[in-house]
Structure 1
């Protein structure tokens, strides 16, 4: 049964036009989606089989606190550092992992309310998924950034915009990916409206996050920046129905738009952060530009 599921994943999720940049595998079998319940819209909408007993209790040594050691490789710690930059609206603290100059790809994770820069670099929480994105960036000549988000309004937007500009100058050819967790999506949508940010934006991932029903006015949408929406079906913070409604509206208004929806059946608000297949999603974004 698992072999069949993996075959479906390979044919539906991973198959895509050749891209100039493609992330090499890292622990793909451990982090692959455990099963596919449904596929719709020619592969654009995928429903993943999520089960808390299996995907938390059996995966973690201490549920929600420490994943099993097999999911983790600590090599990126050798190129991980605390850093800060001065911006027009104050100092921004962040963690940088990987190549800070000449990076091929840059992934920036924006946390939600109650989070901080340490959330995005914790090797053992969220099923080891942050450790995986760190490894994927480091092993592919990339850079991973996890900044503090001081607020989800003008100050936060200005600081993250300055961070993006700083690292674009150091890696002018890099593909920039924004990964938006929960309320971090509020900043992502604000940044998506800025021409200076969207001009070189390779894609956005919204993980249990927000939608934007004024999408026709968003610069990133007009530029057809690829987007992945990942959501738990039992999210009590941002209802899955609202995010799926947004997905359908974009597809109807803009046929062929590079948009993917990954629904984790029975998943809660934090499930997409734990379960998103970073490599598959980022490779899809890169191939869809």
Structure 2
């Protein structure tokens, strides 16, 4: 019996290795690819990066393709963690050593949506390269300028993170409750003049980033069922309205009602919830909320 169990384990591990898929019902799904340092730079640069391609019971490694390296160790690369959402990123990592990566926060990435015929399985060789080559060509010069390409390294402009195989946030970071999220979502949806909206739109929320003083960037997703007639209850008699908000709170969960909310997605009856954003808008949003980057000394 013991021998049979060992054989089964070997078969599962072998299958996982050959397909590039690993199985784990609990987060995190660790990155097992070639570029652990670049992976770390990407997941801490792009606020809503989760760090893996999730599919069913398993997950796949995020995809990375290196375009260029400069004379001082900077790396310009493409990154994708979900071919299904068709969201691709171009990222610059300033440098890395045996333990840490360094990058310019909110100046080192740009995102786009590119049609991808693949989701997870059966991805063609060089899929990421082929899909993002035009995007790279169009955006590389600005990214290089913003990130001091081929100039001596200036770590005083960098933040750093320990090299990791999954995204880690301080376990003491306050996560907003469902009640708090419903309150924020309802305050926003009150501006939409929906007909008889539901009172509990909250579906999920995540902590995205934390600054040097405990200010926290949250993402929350909500769905309203709103009715033209309050007596209607059938599923074909209401409209779905989907909302994704980013909210910055202090370490106690308080936020500025005028400046602390950024609307990322707000649409009715849309099945595709994919969205991209401009890193400059994120940087300005943080600035309005006194975000403190943890720069290197």
TM-score range, shorter chain: under 0.3
Q: By percentage of residues, which structure has more helix?
A: 1
TM-score, scaled relative to structure 1: 0.28
Larger Rg: 2
Q: By percentage of residues, which structure has more strand?
A: 2
TM-score, scaled relative to structure 2: 0.27
Q: Which has the higher contact order (CA 8 A, sep 6+)?
A: 1
